[in-house]
Structures are given as structure tokens and as C-alpha cells.
């Protein structure tokens, strides 16, 4: 059983692209931040993601948000898009943004660890 040094008042949910998950995990471990990691799927392109759940206090929340945003970067990717209104199906590459992090910060009213 682990003990938290500070009172848990915030829960940070961070959804990152699978390609960024190893970098985020390494950054959290280097800072000694405990987390839970869950695979997830979603978004516009139904890409594979990883959701990190981090319990923290109010003072460490900005540090965690900064760490997450620095570790998970947005980048350009290309997807196959079909052109409508052509006599035959034509596929062209369409530019789209992938990666980055979506962060939810929730207040924690009660916390127990068993």
C-alpha cells in the first residue's frame, strides 16, 4: 500500500495518442508522479489512445499539466479522403492534426485507498 504525501484534491485525466504514450509515461516516472494507464479509442479518426489517471493536489496540478503538454505534441498526419462528384472514385491525401493531449481536471471530494 502506498501513501500520498499530500492530500488528494484533484484527479487529472489525460488522453494522449498511442505514439505519445511512452514519452508521457517516461516523463511522469522521471518526476515521480504515480498514475494509472488505460488503453482507449476515440476521436475523429478512431485512433488508439492511452488515458492516464493521475491523483494529485491543487499545488501540483499546474506542474502536471505543463509536463503533459510538453510530452505530447501535435503533429500533421495524412489520411485517405475520397473526392465526391468525380466519374470514378479518386482518393487524395488529406492533412489532419494528430497527437497532443486532452486534459480533464476533476475536483476530488473524498479519497480512500485500500
pLDDT in tens, 48-78: 889 999 999 999 999 999 999 999 888 787 7
Report pLDDT for 1. Answer: 36
Pick the residue with more confidence: 26 or 80? 26
Domains of the chain: 10-107 (3.30.70.120)
| CA gap 97, 44 in Å, rounded | 10
Mean pLDDT of 72-100: 76
Q: In angstroms, how far is CA 89 from the centroid of its own chain?
A: 36
| Whether the predicted pLDDT of 94 surpasses 80 | no
Backbone φ and ψ for 81, nearest 5 degrees, come out as: -120, 140
CA diameter of the chain: 66
Q: Can you spell out the DSSP letters for 47-86?
A: EEEEEEEEEE-TTTHHHHHHHHHHHS-EEEEEEEEEESSS
What is the pTM for the complete model shown? 0.76
| Whether the predicted pLDDT of 19 surpasses 90 | no
Amino acid at each position: 500500500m502506498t501513501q500520498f504525501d499530500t492530500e488528494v484534491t484533484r484527479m487529472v485525466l489525460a488522453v494522449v495518442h498511442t505514439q505519445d504514450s511512452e514519452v508521457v509515461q517516461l516523463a511522469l516516472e522521471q518526476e515521480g508522479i504515480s498514475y494509472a494507464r488505460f488503453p482507449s479509442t476515440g476521436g475523429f479518426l478512431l485512433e488508439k489512445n492511452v488515458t492516464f489517471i493521475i491523483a494529485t493536489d491543487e499545488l501540483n496540478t499546474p506542474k502536471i499539466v505543463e509536463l503533459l503538454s510538453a510530452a505530447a505534441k501535435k503533429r500533421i498526419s495524412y489520411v485517405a479522403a475520397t473526392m465526391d462528384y468525380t466519374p470514378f472514385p479518386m482518393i487524395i491525401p488529406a492533412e489532419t492534426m494528430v497527437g497532443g493531449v486532452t486534459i480533464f481536471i476533476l475536483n476530488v471530494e473524498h479519497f480512500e485507498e485500500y
